[in-house]
Amino acid sequence: MEKEQQSGGWKDSPSGYVERLDDAIRSASVMRVQDGFRDLREFYVSQTGHTRLLYASRYGKLYVLKCLKPDFLYVPLYRQALAKEFEIGLQLDHPCICRTVGMEEVEGLGPVIVMERVDGCTLKSLMEQGALTRPLARRLAMQLMDAVGYLHDRQVIHRDLKPSNIMVSYNGHNVKLIDFSLADSDAFGVLKQPAGTSGYIAPEQLLAGARADVRADIYSLGMVMKDMAQAVGDRQMGHVAALCTRRNVDERPPDVVRLKKLLLHGRRQLFWVVLLALLTLLSALCVAVAWRGRQERVRASQSVERLQPDSNRAVDIRSWPSQQ
């Protein structure tokens, strides 16, 4: 019994049978679990904005943390902007949009948005490396339109579509739309001033009192497709991009559904053109074969007509009656 008490209630038995459970629980060692983020490593700092990004791990899984730069950490406006980005991101659940996991306080960083880590590179880097092909560009354009259409269905405007805000995964080459720091939604009544990146922002957004709608995103999407079309020499995509980037808002496609139809229509049109060319070639071949067969039959008929029935001597057909 004394040995059992010293061992916390465990009998001196290979089975480890517990006779005194309370003593065993009190004497058991507590396994500490690291519930905070570890291995924090900063990899991006916005030169003109107010945020920075860090890699971090927790429970063996990798994440991206987005937080304010130290100079903006205690400015209410920027804390509000970070909270707005989190609220918009949290409601989105789409395979082509970077997932927002949560928001929490991290010592030394302040409030942070916790996001999934995308193992890939930006579309901008992909084009700079010359790794973008025409089939891949078409695939990415369709996925990007799916993601933007999903946003618009939920009354969310991204307002900063550009190649550096589009990730392409290494595994599968799938789109992941990132950075909702300038995004807006009907649910918010703050931070509504026009925003975007030069070269991709719709021109009407630079006017006084402008308000963004889905056509502002369509313009930016058109500029992204224009970049891809120039990189791979896709004339059909370039034509669709030109429609999206009309300066007159009313001349742009009204929604992403129309855009997808325009891009797919180009593929179908090419299919029918190729099919028609093949059918024309096949018809021409059939006509040529038929004409050649007819010529062969004519030659054979003429040869028979030039021979005597009972002789190998060739005679003029007009002399046949006189030979009878």
Q: Who wins on pLDDT, 261 or 151?
A: 151
Judge whether 249 lies within some domain.
yes
One domain for residues 95 and 140: no
Structural domain harbouring 94: 35-117
User: What are the b/e assignments for 58-95, b being 16+ CB within 10 Å?
Assistant: eeeeebbbbbbeeebeeeeebbebbebbbbbbeebebe
The mean pLDDT of 39-58, rounded to a whole number, is 95
In tens, the pLDDT along 61-94 reads 999 999 999 999 999 999 999 999 999 999 999 9
Same domain, 205 and 79: no
The domain tally of the chain equals 3
Domain closes at, from 243, 272, 301:
272
Question: What does the pLDDT average to over 260-284?
Answer: 66
Q: Is the pLDDT of residue 132 over 60?
A: yes
Predicted pLDDT at 318:
61
Determine the pLDDT at residue 99: 98
Verify that 71 and 170 share a domain, yes or no: no
| Confidence tier at 273 by pLDDT (50, 70, 90) | very low
The pLDDT value given to residue 265: 76
Is residue 178 scored above 60 in pLDDT?
yes
* CATH number, residue 184: 1.10.510.10
Helices of type H across 91-133 = 123-128
**Same-domain status, 15 and 110:** no
- One domain, residues 133 and 227: yes
Residues 162 and 219 in one domain: yes
Asked whether residue 96 is assigned to any structural domain, the reply reads yes
Residue 185 lies in a domain: yes
Verify that 106 and 211 share a domain, yes or no.
no
| Residue 283 lies inside a defined structural domain of this protein | no
- Assess whether 208 and 73 both reside in one domain: no
Please give the structure tokens belonging to residue 251: 């001349």
CA distance 86 to 125: 26
Which is more confident, 286 or 141?
141
**CA–CA distance, 222 with 161 (Å, rounded to integer):** 10
150 and 217 within one domain? yes
Residues 147 and 228 in one domain: yes
Residue 239: the pLDDT is: 94
**pTM for this prediction:** 0.73
Give whole-number Cα distances, 251 to 162, 195, 212, in Å.
22, 22, 16
The CA distance from 300 to 122, in Å, is 72
The rounded distance, in Å, linking the Cα atoms of 83 and 237 is: 37
For 22, phi then psi, to 5°, come to -60, -45
Kindly indicate the confidence band of residue 251, based on its pLDDT and cuts at 50, 70 and 90.
very high
What CA–CA distance (Å, rounded) separates 8 from 237?
Answer: 75
User: What's the CATH number where 46 sits?
Assistant: 3.30.200.20
User: What are the tens digits of pLDDT across the range 275-315?
Assistant: 555 677 777 788 878 777 777 777 766 665 555 455 555 55
> Residue 124 has which token pair?
């901008």
The backbone torsions φ and ψ at residue 40, rounded to the nearest 5 degrees and listed phi first, read -70, 135
